[in-house]
Amino acid sequence: MKKNELFLSVILTVCFLSAEPASAQSKSTKQKNLMVGEWFPLNTSKGGLGAGHTFNEDGNFITVNGAYVAINYKLEGDTLVMIFPGAPENKQKVEITSTKLIFSNNGENIELTRIAGDNNAGIIGKWTGDHHTGAKQIMDFTASGDLYLSVQMSSVPGTYEINGDIVELLGETNSSYQWSVKGDSLTLKAIANEKSYKFVRLK
């Protein structure tokens, strides 16, 4: 076999041998990327306690324990109307600037600072500030009228590994889940007890 033919044969052999692993690697990356982002828990206790997750592309994640409430809202002039599940509408006067959201309540002002979103988008975006409990609160207002409110209590770092439709969360405690992402919804079904947890992606 001539030298050029031998070189071409080796190149083709390497290409064929590496084709399947590359495809598998691409699939694994695609699966992992579906989970990347910040996820707000929709399954909480009666008191609103739950755990949100933020998955990074590098295989690290953070679990934030705290109080989580998904609310509907509407803005009527300078009045924010918040509709809590199973409760009467809550109305508060608000002042909105490009970077500040100020609530007025019984002569007291509560000020939140914008941490995400377009400065010209009004109330839409993510805001943070001190909660009356002393913890940090985050309000994420969407254009569709959803408000995701969280009061963070503690955070726990960890790593995660995906193998097909199974994800392992590795940290202080290890747990495995069957996972699926549809649009902005994430479902984790615990392998141990088959309990399902649902999340919505925050943008």
Whether 25 has a pLDDT exceeding 90, the answer reads no
pLDDT band, residue 32 (cuts 50/70/90): low
How far is Cα of residue 3 from the mean position of the Cα atoms in its chain?
A: 56
Give domain status of residue 108, yes or no. Answer: yes
**102 within some domain:** yes
Q: What is the pLDDT of residue 20?
A: 38
Count the domains in the chain. 1
Residue 106's pLDDT is: 78
∠ Cα 117 159 64 (to 5°)? 50
Measure the CA–CA gap between 178 and 170, rounded to whole angstroms. 15
Mean pLDDT within 53-74? 96
On the question of pLDDT at 57 being above 70, the answer is yes
- Examine residue 87 and state whether it is found in any structural domain, yes or no: yes
Supply the DSSP symbol for 133.
T
Q: How far apart are CA 150 and CA 157, in angstroms?
A: 18
Please give the model's pTM, rounded to 2 decimal places: 0.80
Nearest by Cα to 178 from 23, 170, 192:
192
Check residue 11 and give its pLDDT.
28
Considering the domain boundaries, does residue 24 fall inside one? no
Q: Which domain holds residue 114?
A: 49-53+65-154
pLDDT at 4 over 50: no
Q: Does residue 14 form part of some domain?
A: no
CB atoms within 10 A of CB 13: 10
Q: Which of 159, 176, 162, 172 is nearest to 58 (CA)?
A: 159
Which tens digit of pLDDT belongs to each residue from 76-117?
Answer: 999 999 998 788 899 999 999 999 999 987 778 899 999 999
Classified as helix, coil or strand, 182 is strand
Residue 21 CB-density burial (10 A; 0-12 exposed, 13-18 middle, 19+ buried): exposed
In a domain, 120, yes or no: yes
- For residue 110, is it within any domain? yes
Question: Could you tell me if residue 81 is inside a domain?
Answer: yes
> How far lies 72's CA from each of 82, 87, 146, 201, in Å?
6, 12, 5, 16
